[in-house]
Structure 1
Amino acid sequence: MIAKLTGIVDSVGTDWAVVDVNGVGYSVSCGNRTLSRLVQGERASLVVETFVREDRIHLYGFADNAERDWFRLLTTIQGVGSRLALAILGVLGPDQLTHAIASQDKTALTRADGVGPKVATRIVNELKDKVGSLSLGVPAGPAPAGGKAGAGGAVPDNTALGDAVSALVNLGYGRSEAFAAVVAAGRALGDGAGVSELIRQGLKELSQ
């Protein structure tokens, strides 16, 4: 099983690259973000996911482990095959994808070619409890009175966060960026922050 390739980039196509490793060329399928980092004739390393089929071995290449792990997770969703997973990772990096899932930003997911509203909804619904909220410092469920300590300090409860995000979205900001700004605001303000405070601090975060 091939898990990593390091060699010279021999050629790059629309959704693939060939990496020359000691004279052996490996054809690897990649998303746009990974391909944009590859330069023909230069040395590169790719984290690889190997799919073994009856008639062929298919290699999928990623810039780092985070992209590879997201690829694995996305392909567990019904209707999301390897091609669609690469398309999603081509427009959303791991951090952006985490924000999109945690904030239930289906619009961000539909930026990927082939992802319609139904597929985006399925991805969000199936992954929202698996990713994002804990790593972002947002409680996964209802917080106790006074909020819950998150990464980097206490954060307000989910109701205040949700109301602040909705307010910023109504002001014209995307759901993912509004969510990220409010989470950052919650960490900065700490326990007990109200909706209005989160909105003001969130706007400051967005202006930076």
Structure 2
Amino acid sequence: MIGKLKGTIDEIGDDHVLVDVHGVCYEVFCASRTLSRIGSAGEAVVLFIETYVREDQLKLFGFMSRLEREWFLLLQSVQGVGAKVALALLSTLAPSDLANAIALQDKAAISRAPGVGPKVALRIVTELKNKAPAFAGEAAASIGLKQEIGEGVAAAPVADAVSALTNLGYSREQAANAVAAALKNAGEDADSAKLIRLGLKELSR
């Protein structure tokens, strides 16, 4: 099995990249977010690889980090999510954003990915809510609070502050991130008014 490729970018297509490794070009399928960040033809590249072997085909899927590859596999543990849908989700949301959306049970954010309808989005947030924290990456510090918000068990001032910010037009994730930062600065005893004020300050940066 191929675990990682180190080579030179030969060509970038709509859904794949050709990686030249000592004269052998490997076709690697990637999320659009990955393709937009790997560089240009002639530049060096390192991709973490997941190899799919089927009776009639062999496919390589490439990722910029181990965490992205882990999400690719984790998403496919959900019924109705195959490689194509998993790549669509990773094209739409970064790993930390996926973790946040699942913790907040934000089905709308998950549904932004092409091919992900309401039923699949519901399955993703339901089946992965206990697994997502281990794959939160940059979102790890506040993922516990977001789970509480998503499950409706957060402290009243926190819930009220998130609700107030979403009513002002911010997304649930933006509001939760802002309130998490506000809570860190204001302390656990802060009331909703203070959390809203500090949250708006965070959002204006």
Q: Structure 1-normalised TM-score?
A: 0.86
For residue 79 of structure 1, give the secondary structure of its aligned residue in structure 2.
Answer: coil
Q: Quick one: distance in 2 between partners of 1:114 and 1:193?
A: 42
Paired residue for 2:5?
A: 5
Aligned length: 195
Q: Aligned in 2, Cα 1:15/1:167: closer, same or farther, shift over 3 Å?
A: same
Paired residue for 1:170?
A: 167
Cα shift readout 1:103-159 (whole Å, capped 9, x = no counterpart): 2222222221111222112111111222248923335887xxxxxxxxxxxxxx544
Paired residue for 2:140?
A: 135
Which AA in structure 1 matches 2:190? A
Paired residue for 2:78?
A: 77
> C-alpha displacement at 1:195, in angstroms?
2.0
Q: Quick one: distance in 1 between partners of 2:155 and 2:58?
A: 45
1:187-206 residue pairs with structure 2 within 5 A?
Answer: 187-206=184-203
Which AA in structure 2 matches 1:69? E
Cα shift readout 1:69-127 (whole Å, capped 9, x = no counterpart): 11111111111111111011111111211221122222222221111222112111111
* Alignment check: 8 A CA contact 2:146 2:176 kept: no
Runs of 5+ consecutive residues of structure 1 not aligned to the other structure: 143-156
Which AA in structure 1 matches 2:174? E
Cα shift readout 1:149-196 (whole Å, capped 9, x = no counterpart): xxxxxxxx5443233212211111011111111111111212212222
For residue 2 of structure 1, give the secondary structure of its aligned residue in structure 2.
Answer: coil
Q: Aligned in 2, Cα 1:141/1:177: closer, same or farther, shift over 3 Å?
A: closer
Paired residue for 1:20?
A: 20
1:122-161 residue pairs with structure 2 within 5 A?
Answer: 122-132=123-133, 135-137=140-142, 138-139=144-145, 157-161=154-158
Q: Structure 2-normalised TM-score?
A: 0.87
Which AA in structure 2 matches 1:37? R
Cα shift readout 1:23-66 (whole Å, capped 9, x = no counterpart): 11111110001001231121111111112222222111011112
For residue 9 of structure 2, give the secondary structure of its aligned residue in structure 1.
Answer: strand
Percentage identity across aligned positions?
Answer: 52
RMSD (Å), alpha carbons: 2.1
Runs of 5+ consecutive residues of structure 2 not aligned to the other structure: 149-153
Q: Quick one: distance in 1 between partners of 2:146 and 2:171?
A: 22
* Alignment check: 8 A CA contact 1:29 1:61 kept: yes
Q: Quick one: distance in 2 between partners of 1:131 and 1:190?
A: 26
